[in-house]
Amino acid sequence: MEYVKLNNGVECPVIGIGTYTISPADAEVSVREALKMGYECVDTAAAYVNERACGRGIKASGVPREKVFLSTKLWPSEYENPHAVDETLERLGVEYVDLLYIHQPAGNWLAGYRLLEKAYRAGKAKSIGISNFEGKYLDELQLKWEIVPQFMQAEAHPYFAQDELRKTLAKYDIKLMSWYPLGHGDRSLIEEQIFQKLGEKYQKSPAQIILRWHTQMGFVVIPGSKNVAHIRDNLNILDFKLTNGEMAEIAGLNRGVRYYHRTDEQLDAFASFRPKYEKA
- Going across the sheet that includes 69-74, the strands are 17-18, 41-43, 69-74, 99-102, 128-131, 151-155, 175-179, 220-221
Query: Active site residue: 48, 79, 101, 159, which one?
Result: 48
Neighbours of 209 (CB within 10 A): 25
* Distance (Å) of CA 225 to CA 20, 55, 72: 9, 17, 17
Q: In sequence order, what are the residues at sequence separation of 6 or more whose Cβ sits closer than 8 angstroms to the Cβ of residue 114? A: none
- Total length of the chain: 280
Cα–Cα distance, 249 to 60 (Å, whole number) = 42
Backbone phi, psi, residue 239, to 5°:
-105, 15
259 is catalytic: no
Closest CA to 226 of 14, 31, 13: 31
> ∠ at Cα 46 (44, 50), nearest 5°?
60
Closest CA to 72 of 60, 61, 59, 90: 90
Cα–Cα distance, 150 to 152 (Å, whole number) = 7
Question: Do 44 and 54 touch, CB atoms closer than 8 A?
Answer: yes
The residues annotated with a catalytic role in the active site are: 48
